[in-house]
Amino acid sequence: MPNKDVIEKCKSKLLSAKEDLLSLRRSTAAEITQPDSGGDEADQSIRCINEVRTVELNERIRMQIYEIDLALHRIIEGTYGFCEETGEPIEIERLLAIPWTRLSIEGAELRENISKRYARG
C-alpha cells in the first residue's frame, strides 16, 4: 500500500496531467471551430482528415481525463493503489510512472491473458 507521501506525489501528477489534457482539449476544440476557408477538393479532403484526427484525439483525451478522475476518486475513497484485478497493492514505481493505473503488473497480465483467450474464442 502506498504511503501518504506517494499518494500526494501521485495526486499532484494526476492534477497536473489533467490540467495539461484540458488545455490540449481547449486548443484542439479551437482548431475544429475555425471557419471553413474553401479551397479545392484536395484542401477540403485534407481538412476533413485533420478534423477526423482531431475528433479521435479529443476522444483519447476524454478517456484519459476519465481515468484520471477515477484515480482521484479512489484517493478520496481510500482505495487508491490497490489492483482492481487482484486486490493486492500496486507497485509504487508503477503508480509513480502511471498514477491513473488501476492494475498492478500481475493484474494487467491476468487481464491481458483473459482478453487473448476470449479473442481467440
Q: What backbone phi and psi angles, to 5 degrees, belong to 89?
A: -60, 140
Count of domains in the chain?
Answer: 1
Q: Name the residue type at position 102.
A: R
**Alpha-carbon distances of 12 from 16, 21, 29, 38, 101, rounded to whole Å:** 6, 14, 26, 44, 15
In whole angstroms, what separates CA 63 from the centre of its chain? 5
Q: Across the chain, what does the average pLDDT equal?
A: 91
Distance CA 71, CA 79 (A): 9
Assess whether pLDDT exceeds 90 at residue 48.
no
Of residues 55 and 16, which shows the higher confidence score? 16
Average pLDDT over residues 12-22: 98
The DSSP output letter for 89 is B
The yes-or-no verdict on residue 36 having pLDDT over 80 is no
Residue whose entry in the numeric block shows the C-alpha cell 478534423: 51
DSSP notation for 4-51: HHHHHHHHHHHHHHHHHHHHHHHHHHHHHTSPP----HHHHHHHHHHH
Which tens digit of pLDDT belongs to each residue from 51-67?
Answer: 888 889 999 999 999 99
Q: What is the average pLDDT across 95-121? A: 92
pLDDT given for residue 43 in this prediction: 78
> What is the domain extent for residue 11?
4-120
Q: Does residue 35 register a pLDDT over 70?
A: no
Per-residue confidence (pLDDT) for residue 85, from 0 to 100: 96
What is the value of pTM for the model shown?
0.81
Looking up residue 115, the CATH number of its domain turns out to be 1.20.120.910
